[in-house]
Amino acid sequence: MAEPIISFNDVSKAFTTRKGRLVAVDGVSLDIRDGEIFGVIGYSGAGKSTLVRLINALETADSGSIRVLGQEVTALPERELNKLRSKIGMIFQQFNLFASKTVLANVAYPLKLAKTPKAERLAKARELLDFVGIADKADAYPAQLSGGQKQRVGIARALAADPRILLADEATSALDPETTRDVLDLLRRVNKDLGVTLVLITHAMEVVQYICDRVAVMEDGKVVEAGQTYDVFAAPTAATTRRFINTALHDRPSPDTVARLRESYPGRLVHVRMKDSGAGFALSKATSGLNVAATIVYGAITEVEERPFGAVTLELVGEDGAVGQVLERLAAGGSHVTDLGTAAAPLEDPTWRELVTAS
Ligand SMILES: Nc1ncnc2c1ncn2[C@@H]1O[C@H](COP(=O)(O)OP(=O)(O)O)[C@@H](O)[C@H]1O
Ligand SMILES: [Mg+2]
């Protein structure tokens, strides 16, 4: 397999603050592959921004190795670093545009720094504005633009130097949900059409669900979980990850909701995360040949990584043995099953307590 485009090996970074030494990044090892969209999710203060800033050496590591595009960042002299930085674009939550420059001048600015001839850099900037869908705003000033348009300018500017990698630090966090989708669709085109590797920092699991191929979950400077986005959604191992997933899917009924559901659905309630073939198919396979009626009573079929994913609560009605067989089949098919019992013999959802407990 090809060398990862970005590789962290046991990287740590601490800051000295008034309260003492603060370890922002703590022994992180991580590989990011060429051409993928990689998400880093975590709560505020988890160390995400510090981690991305280590990639282009805006921060320097205390220990460990960071390889980017085949070079050891921690050992590069400033001159070489600048060369490397030109291959890494970056976009931000607050856009960081020059208020006094036009949109076109903002986008052309990195090329001006690189001493690209004027006609060439303006032509490139127009081409990029066309790519991000705001060619008509070339002569406008940032203050005249909506948030989504500003971020499009930010993306166009970050692409001016034809980067191999684009770092996005909470790039959609200041945008409403609909605009967020539009900007994520654009970032997907940046990845697919231009072949740019994306590293996407976010605290919103919806963003990961929508666009990331793989994801790392950070907590207290450490990576507590990493993997293919779909697999992480289907079988999260860290409590923090489960909390994030619940915010994206709103899939798990609260104890109050379960109590209400039991009034209408006295049968066996089970919470199921269903993989791959889609929930409907998984369900018909699990109940096939058995005298069990299954009803979806809560949750939704949604998409993760553009693949169907079901996170639902079912009522299963049938003989105990048959219902047990359905549960076994679901689990064997890769679904994660939580038994909530029946109205007559209820079981508590052990995950719920974990979801509402602050980290
Ligand atoms: N330049 C700095 N000086 C001191 N502390 C910092 C600095 N940058 C970040 N930190 C601290 O490091 C921790 C991680 O910060 P950060 O990487 O920004 O997290 P995130 O992006 O996940 O919110 C936080 O506790 C933050 O206060
Ligand atoms: Mg941050």
Q: What is the pLDDT of residues 169-213, one digit of tens each?
A: 999 999 999 999 999 999 999 999 999 999 999 999 999 999 999
Give the Cβ contact number of residue 49 at 10 Å.
22
Mutate to test the pocket of ligand 1, among 11, 12, 15, 44 (most ligand atoms within 8 A of CB): 15
pLDDT tens-place string over residues 61-93: 999 999 999 999 999 999 999 999 999 999 999
Ligand 1 centroid vs 50 CA: distance in angstroms? 6
56 lines ligand 1 (CB under 6 A): no
**Alpha carbon distance, N-terminus to C-terminus of the chain:** 37
Q: Nearest CA to 251 among 341, 335, 358?
A: 335
Amino acid at 356: V
So what's the pLDDT on residue 359?
43
Domain assignment present for residue 1? The answer is no
pTM: 0.88
So what's the pLDDT on residue 278?
60
pLDDT band for position 277 (cuts 50, 70, 90): low
Ligand 1 centroid vs 47 CA: distance in angstroms? 6
Ligand that comes closest to the CA of residue 40? 1
10 lines ligand 1 (CB under 6 A): no
CATH number at residue 297: 3.30.70.260
> 26 pLDDT exceeds 60?
yes
Same domain for 320 and 222 = no
pLDDT band for position 358 (cuts 50, 70, 90): very low
Same domain for 288 and 217 = no
Greater confidence, 262 or 350? 262
Same domain for 113 and 36 = yes
Residue entry with tokens 């507590």: 224
37-42 and 214-219 beta bridge pairing? parallel
Ligand 1 centroid vs 26 CA: distance in angstroms? 12
Same domain for 341 and 241 = no
- Single out the residue in 228, 247, 266 at which a domain terminates: 247
So what's the pLDDT on residue 336?
83
What's the rounded Cα separation, in Å, for the pair 13 and 172?
26
What is the distance of C-alpha 130 from the center of its chain?
27
Greater confidence, 265 or 248? 265
Same domain for 287 and 237 = no
The tally of domains found in the chain comes to: 2
Same domain for 22 and 165 = yes
> 275 pLDDT exceeds 90?
no
180 lines ligand 1 (CB under 6 A): no
Ligand 2 centroid vs 326 CA: distance in angstroms? 44
Q: Which long-range contacts (CB under 8 A, 24 or more apart) does 113-122 make?
A: 114/86, 114/161, 121/160
> 284 pLDDT exceeds 90?
no
- Single out the residue in 218, 247, 276 at which a domain terminates: 247
CATH number at residue 88: 3.40.50.300
Q: Give the residue, by CA position, lying nearest to ligand 1 atom 3.
A: 15
> 55 pLDDT exceeds 60?
yes
46 lines ligand 1 (CB under 6 A): yes
> 296 pLDDT exceeds 60?
yes
Q: Give the residue, by CA position, lying nearest to ligand 1 atom 6.
A: 15
What's the rounded Cα separation, in Å, for the pair 312 and 337?
10
16 lines ligand 1 (CB under 6 A): no
Same domain for 265 and 240 = no
Q: Which domain holds residue 101?
A: 6-247
Same domain for 204 and 81 = yes
